[in-house]
Amino acid sequence: MRKRLSELSRLPTLPGVHLRDEASKIKRRLHELGGGGRGDSSAAWEKVKLARHADRPYTLDYIGLMFPGFIELRGDRCFANDPAIVGGLAAYQGRTLMVIGHQKGRDLASRTQRNFGMPRPEGYRKAQRLMALADKFGIPILTLIDTPGAFPGIAAEERGQGGAIASTLMRMTRLRVPTVAIIIGEGGSGGALALALADRVLMLENSVYSVITPEACAAILWRDAKEARPAARALKMTSADLEELEVIDGVLPEPRGGAHRDHEGAARIVKEALEENLRELEMIHPQARRQERLEKFRRIGVWRENGLTLF
Amino acid sequence: MAQQVSVDISRRGGGHDPGSAESCPKCSQLLDSDELAANLMVCSHCGHHFPITSRERIGQLADEGSWTEMAANLRSADPLEFYDLRPYVERIEEAEYDTGLSEAMLVGTARLHKMDVVLAVMDFRFMAGSMGSVVGEKFWRAAERAVETRFPLVAVCASGGARMQEGLLSLLQMAKTTCAVEMLSQAPVPFVTVLTHPTTGGVLASYATLADVIMAEPGSLISFSGPRVIEQTIKEKLPEDFGRAESNLNHGQIDMIVERAELKNRLVQVLGMLEGGVACALQPLWEEEAGPAGRRGAFAQTLERIKSFAHTPWRSS
Ligand SMILES: [Zn+2]
């Protein structure tokens, strides 16, 4: 059946010929047989739970373990300091690095203070300010991504949540310095992407990155938030899925048992990946690096044109 | 990201049913369908703007016979082999059948009062106007054409957000369309968006809010998160005007609210003003004396063109 399905999808589409009827019948059948997609739903769901694990190292944990010195810079200079995004100057191999990341809390008080890692517009505007600062002095930027998503609230909307994410994306397209983004936990929709339009986008093995949370996806498409397991599988949100789809630049294997068991080990892996990628990126002329960044995101998408499937 | 936003567009395949009647959701007046269509699908009693299809929008904006569609052959693939209660391909086919469209966005070139523009118009009826690979690619090609021809780009938005069924590929279309806007601003080519009911999620958080000038239709919902998600999060009922165009204007998120009947004129005025500036920027000062097409000449021509719509007040309200 799989073979027939791939044959069908290679055929050119002709007007009036409904090959897709047959394709969808086969897909339905495959799904009923329990092999609708690669991997099973419990494996995908395990990854979601691991990515959200309360003992996983967060941005400030990585900063503490990776850099001998760090000076946090705060505030968007307009409205407030958003504790759900932290950023600042890190001492890195005798020079400076700008580190910006989502920050979750561990106990009830700090979770509330960090708003569960869900930024408001002032968080994104602080990120932009720090990016501009880094760009001015030629300081490379590392972003660490770990958020369920941007905060959905009335005041956040009134202050332009959508525009704040969009302008952060725009700022990242324009940077002359090298940028490395690492998904360390939850890469939740636009709120995560805002910090991830980078020259290199890497994922830790047990992190997830998705257009929507599996719960919200299930609530809409399955009409039942409890169907989050099949939604997690269908969304192809694990690092292995996304590497296969070729939409990220690499996966970083975690220490035995996962990053939550060994913070030092995880930090070592992230640091090595950072060094390797920065070394490569710094060989490229700033102008060319910027052009390559635009080209990379320009190529993302899969569609059919005149009957051919294009990647 | 993608979300449930209810919009009632029951008219299949675009257009209206002649001779029938429709009741206005805002003032409950019974409206004659022909009169409603003649009034650009705006209630003549209370000014409620009914959602319109992408083809209706193009019909209202483009000079007669000036629309040329591009990238019409792009169709969604199913890269994730996505299957919820039904396969993605089935949902696509249904949307194609219901709307007579191949995707949630039409792109092409047109003239507005003889001004050449590139248009990118979304259609909410096609899978809630969700942005997947095809919408992202179409927007990119529209931007590319705008840069090649130096025609301004006008994007009319209506979207429930990123398309869940293409997973991260959809989310990354936000990055892709942002790169396209960056290409426009490098040129520079004027870029104006018109946010219509509803513009939310990934479209709002990418190209929709990155325009040089942002317009909105009266009453449109313009919000990153869906009202239902916000209500569930903060556990209270939202005010009536939450996220509407008027509230967005008050909070400084958009430049102006433009009624449908004035949209075409206002677009040409704004684009004309921006183009006048672009014409100046592209013509270095030392070539100023080069003749009537010089720096001042280009601007004067543009000014003449936009002044010619005497019925639209020249000074913005
Ligand atoms: Zn009415």
Closest by alpha carbon to B11, among B43, B56, B45, B42? B56
Q: Is residue B30 part of a domain?
A: no
Element (H, E) at A87: strand A85-92
Q: Is residue B22 part of a domain?
A: no
Instruction: Supply the pLDDT for residue A3.
Output: 57
Mutation pick from B174, B203, B241 vs chain A, by most beta carbons of A within 10 Å, is B174
Q: Model-level pTM?
A: 0.89
**How does DSSP classify residue B242?**
T
Lowest mean pLDDT among A119-128, A296-305, B305-314: B305-314
Contacts of B162 in chain A (CB under 8 A): 189-190, 211-212
pLDDT exceeds cutoff 90 at B20: no
Q: How confident is the model at residue A41 (pLDDT cuts 50, 70, 90)?
A: confident
Domains of chain A, first to last: 1-33 (no CATH), 39-310 (3.90.226.10)
Kindly report, residue by residue over B248-302, the tens digit of the pLDDT: 999 999 999 999 999 999 999 999 999 877 666 655 544 555 454 554 555 666 6
Domain that holds residue B176: 52-275
Contact criterion met (CB < 8 Å) for A245 and B238: no
Cβ within 8 Å of residue B243, ≥6 positions away: A157, B221, B222, B223, B227
Q: Is residue B240 part of a domain?
A: yes
The answer to whether the CB of B92 falls within 8 A of the CB of B100 is: no
Instruction: Supply the pLDDT for residue A38.
Output: 46
Kindly report, residue by residue over A79-106, the tens digit of the pLDDT: 999 999 999 999 998 899 999 999 999 9
Task: Phi first, then psi: give them for residue A301, nearest 5 degrees.
Answer: 145, 150
Q: Name B199's bridge partners.
A: B159, B222
Instruction: Supply the pLDDT for residue B6.
Output: 54
Pick the residue from chain B with its C-alpha nearest to A246. Answer: B169
Please state, in angstroms and as integers, the Cα–Cα distance from residue B76 to each residue in A257, B90, B138, B314, following that order: 39, 12, 11, 43
pLDDT exceeds cutoff 60 at A272: yes
What CATH number should be reported for the domain holding residue B98? 3.90.226.10
Q: Is B12 helix (H, G, I), strand (E, B) or coil?
A: coil
Contact criterion met (CB < 8 Å) for B202 and A302: no
The answer to whether the CB of B216 falls within 8 A of the CB of B178 is: no
Q: Is residue B101 part of a domain?
A: yes
Chains A & B: contacts with CB separation below 8 Å: 231
Number of domains comprising chain B: 1
Please state, in angstroms and as integers, the Cα–Cα distance from residue A98 to each residue in A40, A76, A134, B59, B311, following that order: 39, 16, 6, 50, 54
Task: Phi first, then psi: give them for residue B124, nearest 5 degrees.
Answer: -65, -25
Q: How confident is the model at residue A224 (pLDDT cuts 50, 70, 90)?
A: very high
Q: Is residue B6 part of a domain?
A: no
Strand B153-159 versus strand A303-305 pairing type: unpaired
Distance between CA atoms of A94 and A117, rounded to whole angstroms?
A: 31
pLDDT exceeds cutoff 60 at B175: yes
User: Cα torsion at B107, B112, B114, B117 (round to 10°)?
Assistant: -40
- Shortest distance between the Cα of A69 and any Cα of chain B, in A, equals 32
